[in-house]
């Protein structure tokens, strides 16, 4: 998938996913925004513990929410097939290599 989209396309898709789930006022994904938008992902009926677990899986700074970087890191970590062959593309875009 990463090779099909290219580096910029992959980053844009991750950003779209983040925007789909985020709390527009806070600019982060919260358990509440995840619950509110979970229906779009076919994940309705999740309880608070499950939502907190999903957020906690990627919450690197412990603030109870996912910022855009935490979300992208989580998506990459949970989707290894997404990242096959994409390290070079990320380096090109992020590091200007």
Model pLDDT for residues 13-27, shown as the tens digit of each residue: 888 889 999 999 999
Give me the pLDDT at residue 49, please: 93
The pLDDT of residue 60 is above 70: yes
Q: How far apart are the first and last CA of the chain?
A: 21
Give me the pLDDT at residue 2, please: 46
Q: Which residue has the higher pLDDT, 79 or 55?
A: 55
Share of the chain above pLDDT 70, in %: 74
Give me the pLDDT at residue 27, please: 97
Q: Can you give the pTM of this predicted structure? A: 0.73
Angle made by CA atoms 72, 84, 54, in degrees to the nearest 5? 35
The pLDDT of residue 29 is above 50: yes
* Cβ atoms within 10 Å, residue 61: 10
Report d(CA 16, CA 84) in Å as an integer.
20
The pLDDT of residue 51 is above 80: yes
Domain ranges across the chain: 2-94
Overall CATH class of domain 2-94: mainly alpha
């Amino acid at each position: 998938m990463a090779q099909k989209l290219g580096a910029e396309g992959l980053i844009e898709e991750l950003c779209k996913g983040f925007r789909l789930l985020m709390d527009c006022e806070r600019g982060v994904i919260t358990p509440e925004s995840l619950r509110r938008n979970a229906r779009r992902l076919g994940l309705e009926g999740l309880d608070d513990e499950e939502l907190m677990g999903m957020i906690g899986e990627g919450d690197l700074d412990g603030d109870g929410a996912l910022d855009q970087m935490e979300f992208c890191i989580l998506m990459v970590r949970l989707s290894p097939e997404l990242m096959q062959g994409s390290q070079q593309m990320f380096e090109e875009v992020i590091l200007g290599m």
